[in-house]
Amino acid sequence: MAYTIPKETYSGKVLGLEFGKGPKALKVGGENTLPFLSFEGNIPNKPVIAYEIQDILPEDWPDTVQKQYTAVSDNPVKWAQFCQNDLKAQAVALRLIGTHPDRGNRSSEDAAKTVKDVLSAIEIPLIILGSNHIEKDASVLVAAAEAASGYNCIIGKAQEGNYKTIVAAALAHNHKLIAMSELDINLAKQLNILITQMGFDKERLITDPMCSALGYGLEYTYSVMERIRLAALLQNDATMQPPIVGDVGMYVWKVKETLASGADIPQWGALEERGILWEAITATAMLTAGANLLIMRHPKAVETVNKVIEELV
């Protein structure tokens, strides 16, 4: 019995999406095969990792990550420049967490100013994220989208409870948009349909099926991502073809395994490496399931996952 490569034929493909402007603009997606299977399709773009920064001091981040940014994290402009110039980031994701009613309740105007200041200080593409407060995001992201007009940013996240105003703002100011639903392929599909029904091109959407950390539901995110990719490729389901984002850092850096010291739990080993690896493995699993864009926090984890990506393409 001679061996022949068992190739799959796919009728669909993942949509390509460009964000940012000028020479540093990035493209993700566009593949017509399952993740990294070059023997049966084309994979024109590598996955991209964006460094997460935020508009207020990252006091809720564990020390392991906080100390990487001590010199710059009091100022999102300095922080973004540090990512671009020192860490050689491809992209930055600015989370406007300070607008959350429980986290300082900054106004939409303040948020818009932060967005403007950061944009004028960097050349790499910017992802603008709200605080994940449904009502507040509906106004904050509208102001942010306007402030970023012309920069071809990714804004998000539009959710079932607030997508209408956010979609309208992304449409008016020509941004790309993250649509987030909670760990359910049918909800992801439904939200993408609702958004495109407002006249928003599916070519400008990114699906966020909700990330989960290693050990805390990773398998759910993993399987939802795999199923979205299979639907996009095998069933040519157009609503499932936008690129996928994995918002890794915020889920990883609050679980016990990235917080508890080695002295407290000796059998878990050194905290520093454990945290870094927790983020790197969560991100790597997302890549193998189909994520095109990752949002991460620890420079060492990003460096490792970039090496994994180099080995995968």
Partner 1 sequence: MALSGVEIFKLLPKTNCKKCGFPTCLAFAMKLAQGQIDLSSCPDVSEESKRVLGEASAPLIKTFNLGTGAKAAKMGGETVLFRHDKKFFNPCVFALNIKDTLSDDELTKKVDEVLNSEIDRVGQNLRIDAISLEFASNDSSRYESVVKLISQKSPEVPVILNCKDPSAADRAVKAIADKKPLLYGASEANAEAMVNIAKTNKIPLGVYAEGLTALSALTEKIKGMGVEELVIDSGARKAKDIVELNTQIRRAALKKGFKPLGYPAINFILKNDPVLEASIAAVAAVKYASIIVLSSIEKWKNLALFTLRQNVYTDPQVPMQVEQKIYKLGEPNADSPLLITTNFSLTYFIVSGEVENSKIPSYLAVMDCEGLSVLTAWAAGKFTAGKIAQFIKESGIENQVKHRVLIIPGMVAILSGALEEKLEGWKIVVGPREANALPTFLKSKTA
Q: Which residues bind partner 1 (CB under 8 A)?
A: 1-3, 5-6, 8, 34-39, 102, 214-220, 222-223, 226-227, 230, 254-257, 259, 262, 266-271, 273-274, 276-278, 280-281, 284-285, 288-289, 300, 304-305, 307-308, 311-313
**130, 135, 147: which is closest to 208 by C-alpha?**
130
Per residue, what are the HEC states of 231-289?
A: HHHCCCCHHHCCCEEEEHHHHHCCCHHHCCCCCCCHHHCCHHHHHHHHHHHHHHHHHHH
Nearest approach in angstroms of CB 76 to partner 1 is 23
Nearest approach in angstroms of CB 288 to partner 1 is 5
Q: Which helix (H) or strand (E) holds 177?
A: strand 176-180
Nearer to partner 1, 150 or 269 (CB): 269
Nearest approach in angstroms of CB 227 to partner 1 is 6
- Cα separation values, 135 from 42, 124, 163, 253, Å: 41, 29, 10, 25
Nearer to partner 1, 178 or 276 (CB): 276
Nearer to partner 1, 153 or 309 (CB): 309
Nearest approach in angstroms of CB 112 to partner 1 is 26
Q: How many CB atoms lie within 10 A of CB 40?
A: 14
C-alpha to C-alpha distance for 234 and 229, rounded to whole angstroms: 8
Report yes or no: 55 and 128 within 8 Å, Cβ to Cβ.
Answer: no
Nearer to partner 1, 72 or 260 (CB): 260
Strands 26-29 and 245-247: unpaired
Nearest approach in angstroms of CB 279 to partner 1 is 10
- Cα separation values, 66 from 21, 93, 129, 263, 300, Å: 30, 16, 19, 20, 13
Nearer to partner 1, 53 or 276 (CB): 276
Nearer to partner 1, 20 or 209 (CB): 209
Nearest approach in angstroms of CB 219 to partner 1 is 4
